[in-house]
Amino acid sequence: MHLLRDDGSAWIPTLSLVAEFQDQVVGHVCLTRAGIGPFPVLALGPIGVRADHQGKGIGSALMHAALGAADALDEPLVGLLGSLEYYPRFGFVPGARLGIVPDVPDWASHFQVRPLTAYELEIKGDFHYAEPFYRL
């Protein structure tokens, strides 16, 4: 996470969101700058909810807030690597359906995208995360 925050081209403070309960942070999600060829897009992650607060809808609320904020900022698309059972409920589909693939082929099976209002059909090709993701 620190690597992402320190990367001036990737970190977007307004798209780093927390959930609080009784003045304690219990969940967090962030969207960072990514790219598909010449098109700037977003990557989701990390997202997490404290174990003692899971199963209460906090993760879903964070997802909806992050996607809503990205849409309001006229971002075209959000990509992620994650559960094929969890993320489709938020509108994520396999990236290959839209002609978008991760630039690391081993990630293809769990790579998903969520087109937003500003999405255009010519946004296709290799999805490239911010550099810190490749150093994890």
State residue 135's pLDDT score: 76
pTM of the model: 0.92
Give me 56's structure tokens: 């209460």
State residue 1's pLDDT score: 52
Q: Which CATH class is domain 2-135?
A: alpha beta
- Contact between 44 and 78 under an 8 Å Cβ cutoff? The reply is yes
The full set of domain ranges for the chain reads 2-135
CA distance 42 to 23: 29
For residue 10, name the pLDDT band (cuts at 50, 70, 90): confident
- Whether 107 has a pLDDT exceeding 60, the answer reads yes
CA dihedral 81, 85, 86, 92 (to 10 degrees): 60
